[in-house]
C-alpha cells in the first residue's frame, strides 16, 4: 500500500515537472523567453541588466577579498574572469533581450 502511494506521488510529481518544462522549451525554441520579444527587452533592461551589474560589483569585491589566496596559487586571472569579466560581458555586451549565453564555452 505504501509503495503504491509512493509510486503514485512520484508519477504526479514527474508529470507536473514535465508539464512545467514544456512551455519553457517551446519559448526558447522561438528565440524568446516570455514569448514576446518586446517583453524580453523590458525584462532584460529592468531586471537582468541591474542584476548583472550587481553580480559584477559583488564579483569585484569577492575578487579583491580572495587576492591573498589567489595570488600564491596563480589563479587571479581565472577568478577575475569568472567573477568580473563574465558578468560584465553579460551586462554590457550582449544585445538587449538576448538571454543566450554567447560566451562560446562548453559547460
Per-residue pLDDT tens digits for 71-87 = 999 999 999 999 999 99
- Mean pLDDT over 10-22 rounds to 59
What's the burial of 40, exposed, middle or buried (CB within 10 Å: 0-12/13-18/19+)?
buried
Query: What pLDDT is recorded for position 106?
Result: 44
The residue segments making up the domain with residue 91 are 35-99
- State the CB neighbour count (10 A cutoff) for residue 23: 10
**Residues 57, 25 share a domain:** no
Residue 50 located in a structural domain: yes
Residue 69 located in a structural domain: yes
Residue with C-alpha cell 600564491?
72
State if pTM tops 0.75. no
Amino acid at each position: 500500500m505504501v509503495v503504491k502511494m509512493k509510486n503514485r506521488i512520484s508519477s504526479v510529481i514527474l508529470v507536473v515537472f514535465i508539464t512545467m518544462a514544456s512551455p519553457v522549451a517551446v519559448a526558447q525554441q522561438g528565440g524568446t523567453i516570455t514569448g514576446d520579444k518586446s517583453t524580453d527587452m523590458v525584462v532584460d533592461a529592468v531586471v537582468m541588466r541591474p542584476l548583472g551589474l550587481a553580480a559584477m560589483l559583488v564579483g569585484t569585491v569577492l575578487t579583491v577579498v580572495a587576492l591573498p589566496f589567489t595570488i600564491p596559487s596563480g589563479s587571479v586571472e581565472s577568478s577575475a574572469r569568472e567573477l568580473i569579466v563574465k558578468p560584465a560581458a553579460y551586462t554590457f555586451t550582449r544585445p538587449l533581450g538576448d538571454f543566450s549565453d554567447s560566451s562560446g564555452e562548453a559547460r
